[in-house]
Chains A and B, each alone.
Chain A
């Protein structure tokens, strides 16, 4: 058997593996080039700014310093980072609590309705994110639809302050990223062999027990993926806090934006960006570890 293989490769003109390598280079080159030139190089350039002070009128002075990192240790910045973590965490938790049952329910629908439900989930993506967030302002503002309904029903006497607080930010982020939680969980529940649930029932497990012991552990890795997909863009988001949070710099995304565009302090902005990237990486590693732990529990 191995003798035949050696003979075959000897008779071919090129050494074995060469064609495959050539194909890999050929197919990977466009994507890798775009990634390196458009994302990785600019990011590295930007991150090198961390080690330089800002110039008096913006820009960068090329003298090595670690001052930017020292500035991080300021209760103001730490507070914003902390708040962002709390908000993103809350958004992720709420998205999980809403998304899991939704995904589960969709997976039980007859095939026709499944498609309809999935399209309904994806549909908002065809509208610009900004416009959808503006729509919330229209809904929640003082004379908006929600307040009209509440006062009209006599539930409140005067319009509520629904906009421009942290709750509104959480609402906007959950709204924006909920589908990123639903889709991976849906695909996991959908793929789950229905016979596993039948086997569990057959062995005497109540429907709830079956959910806890069979369905949940087998779909948890996908829920963790959903959690990361929701947490990461929520943590770094600045559109939602800007529009629904009233423009106060209460999340890291806004703070980074302010450093770059308002304070014209690119080096410190780069430092804050690094903090975000580090958090994201830590999170991705944690998710990978947790998934493996669940699978081998």
Chain B
């Protein structure tokens, strides 16, 4: 069931296009991510949903009702700010109770609900402290508690984990997912961190320059990118620009490369993931090259191969340590099914 529908939303700041004809549907109960580099318009979209920004054109409907007509303080949407925006002059409990007090709920109920939510985020012992006395991770939990205690129809999270160090971030990712299942609220997270988006979200909208490039589940986004931007932005990828002809896909300087052509004739880009490329004897693969660098990352190794006629090094990922040394002549192999062709 569609909870939020965004139709043709555009926004310009002077000459800068922040959003250009964005159309999206977000389902109830979904964990949705808006992913893109900084300046892609994702934060503007979030601020439009929260009511701090207005689109030049377009509609936003929540449960079928026009969201844009409602002032920010009447929207059933809560936002967790990137900087947390905790009230510095209030205790943790007061911060969390603030939204419930605005609803005019009885004191006893407010107290119970604040207690419950603080327990849920593991901060029940910190209720009397002020934000300044908490660590970054704890402040983040307070911000989250303050947003979910209202039981909104939809929770917006602006770069929720960006201020945390790597280890705490991994913990909080799990925590967020668990919470989302528990409270059953629709989450919309804005992030520039693709790992965060991939690990958290049911579906991801990849944005660039105010445009939605692709909306898909994380695995589909990774395996079947539909634009050059997505192929390049999501994970590591080897891209070859060439021409689609009746005979297949041909790259100038390299010749034909194995893939399934489902695009009309013309310029296109072939994307092959490093882990889909295998090394073999030269002369029989898709292309030949020389190993220039081998880096060992523990679980996997990255091998960079210089292919004459191709300006970017081809990256190959293998499990464990690579039994190959720089200078070796190799052939590159991949399955036609593993190579994705996208429009240039």
Which positions in A face B, CB cutoff 8 Å? 193, 195-196, 198-207, 209, 213-214, 217-218, 294-295, 297
Contact = CB atoms under 8 A, between A and B. Distances in A.
Contacts of A195: 81, 83, 85
A222 to B, nearest CB: 13
Contact of A295 (B52, B79, B89): B89
A201 B78 CA distance: 10
Contact of B83 (A193, A202, A205): A193
Name the residue among B79, B85, B103, B150 with the largest chain A CB count within 10 angstroms: B85
A213 B74 CA distance: 17
A203 B102 contact: yes
Q: How large is the interface on B (under 10, 10 to 19, 20 to 34, 35 or more residues)?
A: 20 to 34
Name the residue among A196, A206, A207 with the largest chain B CB count within 10 angstroms: A196
Contacts of B85: 193, 195-196, 198-199
Interface in B75-111: 75, 77-79, 81, 83, 85-89, 98-99, 102-103
Interface of B: 50-52, 71-75, 77-79, 81, 83, 85-89, 98-99, 102-103, 146, 150
A204 B89 contact: no
B88 A218 contact: yes
Contacts of A199: 79, 81, 85-87
A187 B13 CA distance: 27
Contacts of B146: 203
20 contacts: A193-B83, A193-B85, A198-B72, A198-B79, A199-B79, A199-B86, A199-B87, A201-B71, A201-B72, A202-B73, A203-B98, A204-B74, A204-B103, A205-B98, A206-B73, A207-B73, A214-B87, A217-B89, A218-B89, A295-B89
A213 B102 CA distance: 11
A206 B75 CA distance: 12
A196 B143 CA distance: 12
B289 to A, nearest CB: 50
Nearest to A207: B73
Contacts of A207: 73
Given A195-B81, A209-B102, A213-B98, A202 B87 contact: no
